[in-house]
């Protein structure tokens, strides 16, 4: 099958005007200018005035929270999380959140997002996502404080084993945060990911209070939370989040760090050397009223930074184009459009250890593609995409049309 488009944006090379992508057995076989296509080419579909891109990759989502969209007002993280816990505990949680996963996956696909890194609290999302034609890394979350498993490394291992992988579904491991999981359990969770050779991710340095707590400041978190942590055997490690991360992930493959909002500049080099990917969630970041994210300085220091949406409980949409539009219009000195696009494709794929398979249009990669309408006279397709975010009008996953 050959798809012709007004513009093809491979990400790893400049956009091609009047381009084509050839697909066979679910993979990209060739990418180039239509003028180079032999006249004998068959099975050619002309998509017309569209921009064809690799499907976008959202490396940090909690689709099961999609049902809490528009219910919580922008607030400080700690106030928000209390309200969220209250909302989630209302009767019918499992059914409600199962439907939310379906809804969130559909919204993602419509926005041209073909792969999600999704964290599910009770390991409930994967059977739902498995039925849906979207690529996914289903992270099994370890949260020692929780009422439901997985709450310890054994339950985590069991949870990971339950997940039935297929060509679109990969299991991942996520120790929740360093203030909800004891140090040794974070280490064994990351070691488990390394043992089964699957991606891992952790929320880290999300709030100033978390950083103060980790450094050993008494009263950094609320007395109720600190009492709860003590009961679960969680102790402040008396170090910075990045020092803790280094201790817990020594000798294993790098992972992805969600947020990293309050990492100090002198530690960026360490993150870059190890190769952890930072996931910045711009609109969710704004929702919580955090200080400006240091992602530009991180990038300058060599850290790979991907963009994610976080959940609809702290964001307006699951569209990564909306995320790019926000950064381009609301953040001081944003990266140029081509670099922004890479942050939701190839860099985001790297956050999920999938950059060999997706994130760009190159021969051998999975044919995950999204097509967006464009005006006939544009000359910068990436800028056009970001300036006026719109739903995708066609999406393919492993070469199969899903929208
Ligand atoms: Zn999160």
Question: What is the mean pLDDT of the segment spanning 12-31?
Answer: 98
pLDDT, tens digit, 9 for 90 and up, residues 311-339: 999 999 999 999 999 999 999 999 999 99
Ligand 1 center–CA 60 separation, angstroms: 6
> Among 241, 289, 286, which Cα is nearest to 268's?
241
Query: What is the Cα–Cα distance from 331 to 345, expressed in whole angstroms?
Result: 20
pLDDT above 90: residue 222: no
Please choose, from the candidates 312, 385, 323, 316, the residue with its C-alpha nearest in 3D space to the C-alpha of residue 348: 323
Tell me the pLDDT tens digit for each residue of 275-305. Answer: 999 999 999 999 999 999 999 999 999 999 9
Q: What pLDDT was estimated at residue 225?
A: 85
Residues 6-31 have a mean pLDDT of 98
Contacts of 21 (CB under 8 A, 6+ apart): 2, 3, 5, 8, 28, 30, 31, 52, 361, 367, 369
Q: Cis (ω within 30 of 0) for the bond into 133? A: no
Length of the chain: 403
**Distance of CA 340 from the midpoint of ligand 1 (Å):** 21
In the Cβ-directed half-sphere of 304, how many Cα atoms lie within 13 Å? Answer: 24
DSSP symbol at 55: P
Dist. CA 47 → ligand 1 center (Å): 36
Concatenate the DSSP letters of all residues of 296-312 into one string.
Answer: HHHHHTT-EEEE----T
Would you state the structure tokens that stand for residue 391, as one six-digit string? 């739903």
Domains, in order of start, for the chain: 2-54+360-401 (2.30.40.10), 56-351 (3.20.20.140)
61 CA distance to ligand 1 middle (Å)? 6
Encode pLDDT of 114-160 as tens digits: 999 999 999 999 999 999 999 999 999 999 988 899 999 999 999 99
- pLDDT tens figures, 172-199: 999 999 999 999 999 999 999 999 999 9
According to the model, what pLDDT value does residue 147 have?
86
The set of residues, in sequence order, having a beta carbon less than 8 Å from that of 141 and lying 6+ positions away, is 119, 120, 121, 123, 150, 174, 175, 176
CA 323 to chain centre: 12
286 CA → ligand 1 middle, Å: 14
Tell me, yes or no, if the pTM score tops 0.85: yes
Q: What is the rounded radius of gyration, in angstroms, for the C-alpha atoms of the chain?
A: 21
Write down the pLDDT at residue 89: 95
């Amino acid at each position: 099958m050959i798809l012709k488009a007004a513009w093809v944006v491979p990400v790893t090379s400049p956009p091609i005007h009047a381009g084509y992508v050839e697909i066979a057995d679910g993979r990209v076989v060739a990418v180039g200018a239509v003028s180079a296509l032999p006249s004998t080419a068959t099975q050619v579909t002309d998509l017309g005035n569209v921009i064809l891109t690799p499907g976008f990759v959202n490396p940090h989502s909690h689709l099961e929270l999609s049902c809490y969209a528009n219910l919580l007002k922008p607030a400080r993280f700690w106030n928000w999380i209390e309200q969220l816990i209250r909302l989630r505990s209302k009767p019918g949680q499992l059914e409600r959140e199962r439907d939310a996963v379906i809804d969130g996956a559909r919204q993602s696909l419509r926005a041209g997002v073909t792969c999600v890194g999704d964290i599910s609290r009770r390991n409930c999302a994967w059977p739902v996502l498995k039925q849906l034609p979207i690529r996914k890394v289903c992270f099994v979350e370890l949260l020692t404080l929780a009422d439901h498993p997985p709450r310890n490394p054994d339950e985590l291992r069991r949870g990971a084993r339950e997940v039935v992988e297929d060509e679109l579904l990969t299991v991942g491991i996520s120790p929740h945060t360093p203030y909800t999981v004891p140090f040794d359990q974070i280490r064994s969770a990351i070691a488990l990911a390394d043992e089964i050779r699957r991606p891992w991710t952790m929320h880290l340095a999300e709030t100033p209070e978390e950083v103060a707590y980790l450094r050993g400041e008494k009263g950094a978190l609320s007395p109720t939370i600190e009492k709860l942590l003590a009961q679960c055997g969680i102790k402040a490690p008396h170090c910075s989040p990045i020092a803790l991360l280094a201790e817990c992930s020594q000798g294993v493959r790098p992972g992805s760090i969600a947020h990293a909002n309050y990492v100090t500049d002198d530690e960026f080099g360490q993150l870059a050397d190890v190769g952890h990917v930072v996931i910045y969630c711009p609109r969710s970041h704004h929702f919580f009223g955090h200080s400006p994210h240091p992602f530009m300085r991180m990038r300058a220091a060599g850290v790979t930074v991907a963009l994610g949406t976080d959940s609809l409980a702290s964001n307006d949409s699951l569209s990564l184009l909306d995320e790019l539009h926000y950064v381009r219009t609301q953040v001081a000195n944003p990266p140029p459009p081509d670099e922004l696009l890479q942050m939701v494709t190839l860099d985001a794929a790297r956050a999920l250890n999938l950059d060999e398979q997706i994130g760009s249009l190159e021969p051998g990669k999975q044919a995950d593609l999204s097509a967006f309408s464009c005006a006939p006279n544009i000359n910068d397709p990436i800028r056009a995409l970001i300036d006026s975010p719109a739903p995708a009008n066609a999406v393919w996953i492993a070469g199969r049309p899903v929208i």
